[in-house]
Structure 1
Amino acid sequence: MPRSAILFDLDGTLVDSARDIAAALTRLSVERGGQAVAVDRVRPLVSLGAATLVATALGPVADDPQQDLAAFRALLRDAPSDPAIVYPDVEWALAALVDAGWRLAVVTNKPESLAVALLHTHCLDRFFACVAGGDTAARAKPDPAPLRHALAALGATPEIALFVGDSEVDAAAAAALAIPLLLYAGGYGVDAVAEKDAAGRFDGFADLPALAAAHR
Structure 2
Amino acid sequence: MEHIKVVAFDCDGVMFDTTKANMAYYNEILQHFGRPTLTPDQFAYCHSHTADQSIAHLFNDEKSVRAAQNYRKNMSYIPFLKYMILEPYLKPLLEKLRPGYKTAIATNRSNTMDRVLSEHGLEEYFDLVVSSSDVDRPKPYPDPLIKILEHFEIEADNALYVGDSELDEIAAKAAGVPFVAYQNRSLSANFHIKSLKEIAQILDIKIA
* TM-score after normalising by structure 2: 0.83
* 1:19–1:39 Cα contact (<8 Å) kept: no
RMSD of aligned Cα (Å):
2.8
Q: Percent identity?
A: 22
Q: Which residue does 1:107 correspond to in 2?
A: 106
Give the deviation of 1:50 after TM superposition: 2.8
Deviation at 1:14, TM superposition (A): 0.8
Partner of 1:79: 79
Name 2:48's counterpart in structure 1. 47
Looking at structure 1, the residues matched to 204 and 76 of structure 2 have their Cα atoms a distance apart, in angstroms, of: 36
SS for the counterpart of 2:132 is: coil
Instruction: Judging by fraction of residues, say which structure has more helix.
Output: 1
Alpha carbons of 1:51 and 1:192: their partners in 2 closer, same or farther (altered >3 Å)? farther
Q: Which residue of 1 aligns with 2:68?
A: 68
- Letter of the 2:162 counterpart: V
Inter-CA distance 43–213: structure 2 relative to 1 (3 Å threshold)? farther
Equivalent of residue 168 in structure 1, options 154, 166, 169: 166
Aligned pair count? Answer: 204
Question: Match of 1:205?
Answer: 196
CA shift digits 1:91-120 (9 cap, x unpaired): 111112225x11100011111x31122112
Answer with 65-74 or 12-21: which moved more.
65-74
Letter in 1 for 2:113: A
Relative distance call for 1:150 and 1:182 in structure 2 (3 A) is: same
Shift of 1:127: 0.9
What amino acid does structure 1 have at the position aligned with 2:203?
A: A
Aligned AA for 1:2?
H
Q: State yes or no: 1:30 paired with 2:28.
A: no
CA contact (8 A) 2:163 2:181 kept: yes
- Structure 1's 83 and 36: CA in aligned 2 closer, same or farther, altered over 3 A? closer
Q: In the alignment, residue 107 of structure 2 is paired with which amino acid?
A: T
Unmatched segments (≥5 aa) in structure 2: none
1:37 Cα deviation from its structure 2 partner: 4.2
User: Structure 1: 5+ residue runs without aligned partners?
Assistant: none
